[in-house]
Amino acid sequence: DVKVTQSSRYLVKRTGEKVFLECVQDMDHENMFWYRQDPGLGLRLIYFSYDVKMKEKGDIPEGYSVSREKKERFSLILESASTNQTSMYLCASSFGGITTYTFGSGTRLTVV
């Protein structure tokens, strides 16, 4: 089975800190995605990547950036964390074409 691993399940950071959320997949998937999940809003796409060093903005990229230096790793960066970025963050990956996403277990980030 494909595994998508997010490095932290729970994270608490202070306002203004730079935050790194890491995601690693072990099945050579081309595509990787970062979503945030909030009650009543479902999943919203932040950034995605179809290949190494490629990145595309999703629906809500403001306040975030990403890095994909290696195919298996996709990092989400909060340059200066704010309280409105408190959320559940989900990473997903897939092969090219119309295929199923595989999700990580999520990182619940609290910014205080």
Partner 1 sequence: AQSVTQLDSQVPVFEEAPVELRCNYSSSVSVYLFWYVQYPNQGLQLLLKYLSGSTLVKGINGFEAEFNKSQTSFHLRKPSVHISDTAEYFCAVSEVGNQFYFGTGTSLTVIP
List of residues contacting partner 1 (CB under 8 A): 4, 6, 9, 31, 35, 40-43, 45, 48, 50, 90, 92, 94, 96-106, 108
Nearest-angstrom CA–CA distance, 33 and 28? 14
| 3 vs 18, beta carbon nearer partner 1 | 3
Query: CB of residue 104 vs partner 1: minimum separation in angstroms?
Result: 5
Placement of tokens 């945030």 in the chain: 36
For the chain, the helix, strand and coil percentages under 3-state DSSP, each to the nearest 5? 5, 55, 45
| 14 vs 40, beta carbon nearer partner 1 | 40
